[in-house]
Structure 1
């Protein structure tokens, strides 16, 4: 029975690979269905229009006044002109069919590649007893009032937790609250709030080697997403307080002494969010500050030393406009996986640097990781220096000003996270497309499957 199921899986893999290759060939063939000169311009016009649109958006961000208005008009007019050209030449249907075929080719190809499961990495789960004296900090303002809306305090207290609600009218030191709770005997710390608050309390839990509980009551809940929690039902996270909970060992990042569960950001974004006017008018403040920040007329000039200086994998990122250092790398090989971290226990930081000096280089960002303006690396340590004694840093969304240089590091396996054993899991992301491997699968899987067939009865 097992051999039969394995054969069926191999057959599905083979036909998915062949279907992907066939659809990709059909997508290319559609671009040559007519012999008219206009059909030859399909790809060049599409590529040029996309590049010009990105370049125009760069001008929108770096210019002011009438020039910015003209750039905005160009960014809107270019894609409209491309579509008009395709429609006028009766080629729009060719573009649509080709895109549909190409979309199917990518979907089928990733299905074929993912069926091998070679890309799947899961964090080991450990069964441990339920906590006896859990302590949870809840922010009633977080996520637009999710604590009250989902009855989080009531459910946590029914499950034996002691809950502290942060007072809206005054600032409370969550690190101090967590340290006092541990001194009083707490054997689990948890947070219902944003990622910044979670990071502070997680550092205390890691310091005392006790479990940490994430209740996804924030606005975006990136950390909860990468842990596979149900972000639509924050109350489900509290099931981890019972015997149904399991523990994961994951990494914890630090920018100097400041912990982060997601990332630390430097450069233009970190400067913009610390402007006093940003909270009241985010769009206007961003557009007002970006021209000088992106052209290095304002803000710090950064230098990032990635990896140990003199080491085999050391690298320097000079003068990036934006730099993101993350607790484990984000996916960069597939647009569908952007913003996700497949692993939280790889023991390395993810490093993403953006340096763009012109509209042409901005258009080059369409090449993704192959762009000269984009640097994607991993390292155990990143040291960020600048031409000034202090720089703005966004640590899990919290605005800080730190003395330079800022040393970012990762502590592998420092954090014990308790999660429900039954949870949705991390959203499935397919592996990156590898056309060479796909061709081999299409040609070889059929032969491979033969080796898995049961031997004839007379050979048994």
Structure 2
């Protein structure tokens, strides 16, 4: 039904433009796409150049869409534009609805297990701008019977992996982390190695892993409910050259930029300063990526994820529908000029400069002996070739029985699939267990 509604709305959108053709209806489409393309080209000039070219690119990125709106308003085409855009937006919403077999996606139920008797929680007091102290996580965890080990309380560095190994040796039957994704990955590796449950407390800055587990990122205290009223999920764990990762491994432009000591305190300024050389090939290695039997030649940026993201759009994406698919996601991006940037602005993840794959094993080679790598946001340098693999269902994650659940990530709209659904043909990729939490 939703697929048929989507196609009907597309027909309505075309009719609105066609019926207004005499008064410039087709001009609505041409002007709209031209403005979007010019904005994309402007963003490229702003990112890939310095000085006057950057200034002109920034102005173009801002003025192109504004100019389109002004032209619509002054020429009387705004009624046609609003009508066509409204119908197109409704068509996209209906198309995405048709690709969902359930209104509220559900996945495998967590397995109920007894509460831990000797849980150990490792908390980074600096993570997330001080969420551990702000939410009183130490006191709340200790009141539930957990032993808490603090990191970052002084200037001395404490290795969370060593703390986790010591806790297991002393009899801990659950390991938990209140901190960033990088700290979580180190402790998760120890938990998987010793087959003890792992608890994620959403006290980091972005908490991508917590989001995909369906935890409440606005209130990390709710994560502690897993200690008393929890269930277990089996999820995958990524590995890059023997080091675990729960979210992503980045190569190329982003990985090179985060190596700079100034990045942590001045992210935007450092990004704008170094990106032109990386995009134009004046800095950074030339990468070659092998994802099982597929190859990606000389991408400017590569993202390898523990399970694939819902969308390959580097400007969007959002989240991973599954954490137990047993596959790595691979997104490669190469934009070589303003024309390709304009194409990316119009087509998004379908642009020729974007490659999206899944694989069991990813090998990244380069023309340098060592390359910059960002593992769950942590800046590292690793010898080439760098090998990424996935360990299916090795991590026992304990989550609260009652949790918000992962936000729905809308799929990419493939109109051929929509047409098949509208004609009554079954779609094997629309399955009711598509989401794991």
Q: TM-score, normalised by structure 2?
A: 0.91
Change over 3 Å in CA distance of 1:213–1:111 after alignment to 2? same
Q: In structure 2, how many angstroms separate the alpha carbons of the residues matched to 1:210 and 1:411?
A: 16
| Matched residue, 2:244 | 259
2:322 is matched with: 343
- Tell me the equivalent position of 2:261: 276
Please tell me whether the aligned partners of residues 303 and 317 of structure 1 are also in contact (alpha carbons under 8 angstroms): yes
Alignment of 1:128-167 (within 5 A): 128-166=113-151, 167=153
8 Å Cα contact 1:337-1:429 kept in structure 2:
no
Aligned structure 1 segments of 4 or more residues deviating by more than 6 angstroms: 333-337
Contact in 2 for aligned 1:27/1:97 (Cα 8 Å): yes
Distance across 1 between alignment mates of 2:55 and 2:391: 47
Alpha-carbon distance in 2 for matches of 1:201, 1:188: 11
* Aligned 1:1-16 pairs, distance under 5 A: 14=1, 16=2
Q: 2:377 aligns with which of 373, 397, 410?
A: 397
1:53 paired to 2:39: yes
The aligned counterpart of 2:409 is 429
User: Which piece of structure 1 moves more, 272-281 or 130-139?
Assistant: 272-281
When structure 1 is superposed on structure 2, of 102-111 and 266-275 the one drifting more is 102-111
3-state SS, counterpart of residue 221 of structure 2: helix
Alignment of 1:377-396 (within 5 A): 377-396=357-376
For residue 417 of structure 1, what is the aligned residue in structure 2?
Answer: 397
Larger mean Cα displacement after TM superposition, 177-186 or 84-93: 84-93
Aligned to 1:318: 297
Deviations 1:99-152, CA, capped at 9 Å, x for gaps: 1222222223333442x3499562442111111100000111111221122221
Q: Distance in 2 between matches of 1:426 and 1:163?
A: 27
CA 1:121 to 1:363, structure 2 compared with 1: closer, same or farther past 3 Å?
Answer: farther
**Secondary structure in structure 2 of the residue aligned to 1:67:** helix
2:160 corresponds to 1:186: no
| Conservation of the 8 A alpha-carbon contact between 2:45 and 2:54 | yes
1:31 is paired with a residue whose SS is helix
Q: Which runs of 5+ in 2 are unaligned?
A: 426-437
SS of 1:28's equivalent in the other structure is helix
SS in structure 1 at match of 2:24: helix
Cα separation, 1, equivalents of 2:83 and 2:312 = 25
In structure 2, distance between residues paired with 1:336 and 1:396: 18
Are residue 204 (structure 1) and residue 204 (structure 2) matched?
no
Over 3 Å counting, the alpha-carbon distance change for 1:349 and 1:147 in structure 2 is same
Give the greater-gyration-radius structure (CA): 1
Contact 1:384–1:405 (CA under 8 A) maintained in structure 2? yes
Match of 1:103 in 2: 89
Cα distance, 1:26 vs structure 2: 2.1
**SS of equivalent residue, structure 2 residue 206:** coil
Q: Give the superposition deviation at 1:362.
A: 1.8
TM-score, scaled relative to structure 1: 0.87
Question: 1:26/1:333 Cα in 2 relative to 1: closer, same or farther (>3 Å)?
Answer: farther
Structure 1 unmatched runs, 5+: 1-13, 308-313, 446-460
Aligned position for 2:65: 79
Residue-by-residue CA offset, 1:226-284 (whole Å, 9 max, x unaligned):
00011111111111111x21111110001102211000001111111111222232222
In structure 2, relative to structure 1, the CA distance for the partners of 1:277 and 1:163 (3 Å cut) is same
Deviation of 1:336 (Å): 11
Aligned-residue RMSD, C-alpha: 2.2
1:97: Cα distance to partner?
A: 2.1
* CA distance in 2 between partners of 1:353 and 1:334 (Å): 10
